[in-house]
Copies of this chain bind each other. A is one copy, B any other.
């Protein structure tokens, strides 16, 4: 049923609203599972966040053929599966933001919110949603 209800992204004019993407690997399983600050280290959390960004850029490339279609990233909302007492969500999400800037340069700069939560789907470490703007001519 989900396949007929959900979209990886919805485009409205030049704005693209992407679904929440987790840190699944090639096999469809999250590459990092658990709460950051408990069984998951900061570095592992950052690796999970990097993976989320890679997956979202892949989804955008798949949809629009090339990342050149992107004028800029608008906003990122990142949720970090957080152990009680772990309050460095922005450091985790820097892994995500770094990938955007590595791949897109200044176009990858963005407004961002980084939040801690107690549970995420499949107990993955990070989940992120994002809004991007396309170039008008695309």
Q: Which residues of A are at the interface with B, using a C-beta cutoff of 8 A?
A: 1-2, 4-10, 12, 14-15, 17-20, 72-75, 77, 79, 82-90, 94, 97-98, 100-101, 108-123, 127, 129, 131, 133
Contacts and interface: CB of A to CB of B under 8 A. Distances in A.
Given A18-B111, A116-B118, A117-B119, 17 more contacts: A1-B94, A2-B97, A4-B109, A5-B100, A5-B110, A6-B110, A7-B110, A9-B111, A12-B74, A17-B74, A17-B75, A19-B111, A19-B113, A20-B114, A20-B115, A82-B119, A87-B120
State the oligomeric state as a number of copies.
3
A46 to B, nearest CB: 12
A122 to B, nearest CB: 5
